[in-house]
Amino acid sequence: MTHIGDVSLIFRQLFEKTSSTYTYLLADTQTREAVLIDPVIETVDRDLKIIKDLNLQLKFTIDTHVHADHITGSGSIKKKVDSVKIVLGKASKAKADVYVDDGDEIKFGHKKLFVRSTPGHTDGCITLICHSAKAVFTGDALLIRGCGRTDFQQGNSYTLYDSIHKKVFTLPDDYLIYPGHDYTGQTCSSVGEEKKLNPRLSKQREEFKKIMDNLNLPYPAQIDRALPANLVCGIQE
Ligand SMILES: N[C@@H](CCC(=O)N[C@@H](CSS)C(=O)NCC(=O)O)C(=O)O
Ligand SMILES: [Fe+2]
């Protein structure tokens, strides 16, 4: 069992290889209540099997934002486990059961995730902090040695720069960063490491904007089906 710095927290970092997405399972060892951050539709059965095998009760799925590169597994999970509530950032303007905003807390058993609003990749992006584990789930806002692109949805490079500097880089240096994706095989980083070594966000604000304006990334392969589906929890009737 993996615990990441909190012996009463169950922690699993799960991977979906087509979109290089990380899904995170967190649970309270005592009460068995669990949350799933950023599930992917293709790996829902795998995730639900792990939850069952570990004798956990899934309380929330949490989408860190309206994803453009893959379809969320949240709606599919809710269809299979009726009691699950889908959580999304209030500013995302998409369907969900629970909307959260800066300063809110998501409780599962005796554990808490603290919500910080980190717009810039999209308006509704949220970062989730588990202080007891010194772990930060940044979605696509902050990636390891990178960050979320700002050239579609409600992307804005200045907003993203301010979000990361004010809401993530102000956390203690030893807090671990768990991103929404990694395309290079890395699994986690830390606040101190990213402040120093992130080739985009360690720069001044204007330099950051220039870097982001010149990324020239191709659009995600699944964008045309992912965006409309994710506005309705991944399930289009
Ligand atoms: N090739 C992938 C999409 C890669 C991509 O655009 N990733 C996004 C996060 S998913 S919205 C991103 O922000 N990337 C930043 C970067 O610097 O790579 C696919 O086709 O799915
Ligand atoms: Fe994204």
Q: Is the dihedral of CA 216, 217, 221, 225 positive or negative?
A: negative
Among 15, 17, 144, 149, the mutation site with the greatest number of ligand 1 atoms within 8 A of its Cβ is 149
Q: Is 211 helix (H, G, I), strand (E, B) or coil?
A: helix
* Nearest CA-CA partner of 172 in 197, 204, 140, 194: 194
Distance CA 72, CA 70 (A): 6
Segment 151-176 shows an average pLDDT of 98
Average pLDDT of the chain is: 97
Asked whether residue 45 is domain-assigned, the answer is: yes
Asked whether residue 1 is domain-assigned, the answer is: no
Task: Give how far Cα 214 sits from Cα of 76, 199, 204, 217, Å.
Answer: 37, 14, 16, 9
Asked whether residue 221 is domain-assigned, the answer is: no
Q: Report the first-to-last Cα separation within the chain, whole angstroms.
A: 38
Structural domain count of the chain: 1
Distance CA 134, CA 175 (A): 5
- CATH at residue 119: 3.60.15.10
- Predicted ipTM of the assembly: 0.99
Distance CA 148, CA 164 (A): 11
Give the model confidence (pLDDT) of 70-119 as tens digits: 999 999 999 999 999 999 999 999 999 999 999 999 999 999 999 999 99
Domain with 84 in it: 9-214
Ligand 1, atom 21, lies closest to the CA of: 220
Q: Is 158 helix (H, G, I), strand (E, B) or coil?
A: helix
Q: Ligand 1 centre and the CA of 17: distance in Å? A: 13
Q: What is the pLDDT of residue 167?
A: 98
Q: Ligand 1 centre and the CA of 21: distance in Å? A: 10
Give the model confidence (pLDDT) of 27-81 as tens digits: 999 999 999 999 999 999 999 999 999 999 999 999 999 999 999 999 999 999 9
122 pLDDT higher than 80: yes
- Ligand 1 shell residues, CB under 6 Å: 19, 68-69, 140, 146, 148-149, 181, 217, 220-222
* pLDDT band, very low/low/confident/very high, at 236 (cuts 50, 70, 90): confident
CB-based contact 119:102 (threshold 8 Å) = no
